[in-house]
Amino acid sequence: MLVLLVIFLVMAVRLFVIQIVDKRYSETAGNNALKYVTVYPARGRILDRNGNTIVENKITYDIMVSPRLVEPFDTLAICEIFNLEPEFVHERFAQYRDNARKIGYGSMPFLKQVSSEQYNAFAEKEYLFPGFDAVARTARIYPVNAGGNLIGYVSEVDRDYIEKHPEYRSGDYAGKTGMERAFEKRLCGEKGYTVYYRDARGRIKGHYDNGAIDKAAVAGSDIITTIDAGLQEYGETLMRNKVGSLVAIEPSTGEILSLVSSPGIGVSQLAEIGKYYKEISENPYNPMFNRTVQSAQPPGSVFKLVNGLIGMQEGVLTRDTWYPCNHGYTAGKVHVGCHYHASPINLPQSVAMSCNAYYCYVLRSILENRKYANVEEAFEKWREYVTSFGFGRKLGSDVPYELGGNVPTVNTYNKLHGKGRWRALSVISLSIGQGELGCTPLQIANLAATIANRGWFYTPHMIKGDETHPLDSAYCVRNYPLVDKEHFDVIVEGMSMSVYGDGGTSHVAQIPGIQMCGKTGTAQNPHGDDHSVFICFAPKDDPKIAVAAYIENGGFGASWAAPIASLLVEKYLNGEISPARQDLETRVKNGNLLYKVPVKKKRR
């Protein structure tokens, strides 16, 4: 009897807690009588470095329907409001009937992201359509006509996304590419909800418990980027009808000023990505591919600057080391051609004239340095220098999908030639930035920033810190390549001579009133015309901007890359293009190089 009494008391107390004390259980039991309406937060805005809005929101509406509460209505009237075909309405309600048991008294999306104008027309006649209502949402709009690849797009989550991110539900939206994806947690905000109670017929009767358990939505956080919106837009006009990349960095901070991948996604397409997705995905030039961080290609002659710095650090090269060039470099069966220029030349002149032969001598002197036991040991040291500049690895930027490129290893050549069977001449193409090297345009721009700073760089990044989200400490630490500061002055001298000196290959990059330093590159391409490459920074002694331009199939570095990069510099520093260079600007803007780029048509 005592045991039975104890059991009875425990059960009585538990029932009292469930029914009287803790409301959660009564609410759960009454879920069939409650209707939860999601309140979607406003997504955070994206701003440029000057406070200009790049991405903001507009109000849209999802038209919802509770099929069980729908009464006969005028199909043509609702079609007129939303510009629909009657077949669309019939098909939707056929789907609802097939899933009636699963839907119950729940609501289903009838139309998504309806404009305010259409919603207002609907609201005036909503009484004619029992069972229909609307939920306010926000959609992205783009005040600046640039930066599609950089910004990325937002779309509705699918089943795979929900499995990886269980905090999302069907009908939610999330950033899928670019900044929208990279900073989704900051931008998305936090959903809220409003709870209503229904009668036995499922009709809404009012707020449940006077709104006591309603939850307000929390708007997403704004993001301030390092991007200059005007410069980004200008860069995209220069790159129109060309395939390649244009990257600009502020050397003193590592902040990315512009990041142009061309061809890219237009912001008008971002706003309706579902409508344009098939067209974009079938474009043979692959506009969704962010070439600035994903396209690792030979850097060409701009890489000579790295070999020159390594040679000086290793003590096998000085400013006044002279080498000859007789239309190239020949050693045994190896021949590397070169254009005509004065000979012999010293190190600054070799930079200015972009001499291939000079750097063949330089690389051989590095790899055949007798302080190393063999070429393999010297090569390992050379590779250590190269990677210290940020090549062959991810820089660690906050640009989504960044790749590390490739710097070959000893094992690379052991596999190609056999262990102990290769020499400096076997890898001589590395002297001029060819061979097995693969560098992204962001890495090449970072090289320009490193030289501008005379031997250090901040990891490139595109988001500024604020009080709520301080800048990641990784972007506040100076990175030093394994080359002493004094050696960079010789390279800067050569880059200045390239723009202003006799025989320099970068004369086209001269800007009135601005002291420019540059280096051309022509990257050999077995699949068509060579790639046009150029890096630069300005002003020489107080650098405000460093730029890399990589124009696929553009030919010589001075043909397209140098004009494009120098116009971007002039626009940033002066705000306008000088009259003397407006013809050049017109030529660049009107230039169409797409026909030069070999593409494979995608199968449908």
Rounded CA-CA distance 438/229 in Å is 29
pLDDT in tens, 459-472: 999 999 988 889 99
Which one of 259, 289, 319 terminates a domain?
Answer: 289
Q: What does the alpha-carbon distance between residue 420 and residue 446 come to, in Å, rounded to a whole number?
A: 35
Phi, psi of 383 (to 5 degrees): -65, -35
Percent of the residues in the chain that have a pLDDT greater than 90, as a whole number: 78
Q: Is the peptide bond before 344 cis (omega within 30 degrees of 0)?
A: yes
Domain boundary among 227, 259, 289: 289
Whether 316 and 277 map to the same domain: the answer is: no
pLDDT for position 528: 87
Q: Residues 188, 309: one domain?
A: no
Residue type at position 84 = L
Q: Which amino acid is at 441?
A: P
Lowest mean pLDDT among 405-409, 455-459, 469-473: 469-473
Examine the domain organization and report whether 397 and 442 are in the same domain: yes
Question: pLDDT exceeding 70 applies to what percent of the chain?
Answer: 95
Is residue 362 in a domain?
A: yes
Residues 285 and 297 in one domain: no
Quick check: is 564 in a domain? Answer: no
Q: CA-to-CA distance for 85 and 71, rounded, in angstroms? A: 20
Q: What is the pLDDT of residues 294-340, one digit of tens each?
A: 999 999 999 999 999 999 999 999 999 999 998 999 999 999 999 99
The rounded Cα 418 to chain-centroid distance in angstroms is 39
Kindly state whether residues 379 and 260 are assigned to the same domain.
Answer: no
Across-strand partners of 478? Answer: 458
Dihedral (Cα; 432, 434, 439, 445), 10-degree rounding = 30
User: Would the CA dihedral through 163, 164, 168, 173 be positive or negative?
Assistant: negative
Task: Name the residue with tokens 């006799």.
Answer: 502
pLDDT surpassing 60 at residue 532: yes
Residues 6 or more apart whose CB falls under 8 angstroms from that of 121 comprise 81
Within 8 A by CB and 6+ apart from 424, the residues are 363, 364, 367, 368, 375
Name the H helices within 188-303: 229-238, 267-271, 273-281, 291-294
> Which of 481, 507, 523 is the last residue before a domain boundary?
523
Q: Which CATH number goes with the domain that contains 434?
A: 3.40.710.10
The secondary structure of 301-316 as a DSSP string is GGGHHHHHHHHHHHTS
3-state secondary structure of 359: helix
Q: Longest C-alpha distance within the chain, in Å?
A: 114
Residue with more model confidence, 368 or 10:
368
Residue with tokens 């000057």: 50
Q: What is the mean pLDDT of residues 481-494?
A: 98
Q: Is residue 438 part of a domain?
A: yes
**151 and 265, same domain (yes or no):** yes
| CB hemisphere CA count around 245 (13 angstroms) | 27
The average pLDDT across 386-404 equals 96
The residue among 302, 431, 430, 300 whose CA lies nearest residue 359 is 431
- Domain-embedded: residue 389: yes
307 in a domain, yes or no? yes
Q: What pLDDT shows up at residue 150?
A: 92
| Residue 267 half-sphere exposure toward CB, CA atoms < 13 A | 16
Q: Does residue 518 have a pLDDT over 70? A: yes
pTM above 0.75, yes or no: yes
> Are the C-beta atoms of 456 and 478 separated by less than 8 Å?
yes
Q: Which residue has 């060309």 as its token pair?
A: 242
Separation of alpha carbons 324 and 533, rounded Å: 25
Q: Which residues contact 576 (CB under 8 A, 6 or more apart)?
A: 570
Q: Beta strand 478-479 with 457-458: parallel, antiparallel or unpaired?
A: antiparallel
Please state, rounded to an integer, the average pLDDT across all residues of the chain.
Answer: 92
333 within domain boundaries: yes
Counting other chains too, the contacts that 591-596 makes at CB distance below 8 Å and 24 or more residues apart are: 591/241, 591/242, 591/560, 592/241, 592/242, 593/241, 593/242, 593/243, 593/551, 593/552, 593/553, 593/554, 593/560, 594/241, 594/242, 594/243, 594/263, 594/285, 596/528, 596/529, 596/553, 596/554
Cα separation, 336 vs 316, whole angstroms = 21
User: Would you state the structure tokens that stand for residue 574, as one six-digit string?
Assistant: 């002066």
Q: Which helix (H) or strand (E) holds 462?
A: none
Return the number of other C-beta atoms located less than 10 Å from residue 598's C-beta: 11
Element housing 183 (H / E): none
Closest CA to 180 of 459, 513, 463: 463
How far apart CA 11 and CA 416 sit, in angstroms, is 79
604 pLDDT band, cuts 50/70/90, is: very low
Is 533:522 a contact under the CB 8 Å cutoff?
yes
Comparing CA positions, the residue from 173, 182, 179, 181 lying closest to residue 138 is 173
Strand partners, 517: 537
Shared domain for 314 and 453, answered yes or no, is yes
Of the listed ranges 15-24, 71-80, 263-272, 483-492, the one predicted with least confidence: 15-24
Query: 3-state class of 299 per DSSP?
Result: coil
What CATH number does residue 154 fall under?
Answer: 3.90.1310.10
**Are 284 and 295 in the same domain?**
no
Query: Would residue 365 count as lying in a domain?
Result: yes
Are 359 and 435 within one domain? yes
Whether 225 is covered by a domain: the verdict is: yes
Tally of structural domains, the chain: 2
Domain that includes residue 445, residue range: 290-460+473-523
Cis, bond preceding 263 (omega within 30 deg of 0):
yes
pLDDT of residue 39: 87
Least confident of 193-202, 268-277, 463-472: 193-202
**Residue 284 shares a structural domain with residue 182:** yes
Residues 351 and 488 in one domain: yes
| Structure confidence at residue 305 (pLDDT) | 98
Model confidence at 30, in pLDDT bands (50, 70, 90)?
Answer: very low
Q: Which residue has the higher pLDDT, 582 or 14?
A: 582
Cα–Cα distance list, 370 to 316, 331, 365, 450 (Å): 11, 20, 9, 30
Partners of residue 154 on adjacent β-strands: 175
- Across 4-102, the runs of DSSP E, i.e. the strands, are 34-39, 46-47, 53-65
Specify the pLDDT at position 29.
42
Whether 264 and 117 map to the same domain: the answer is: yes
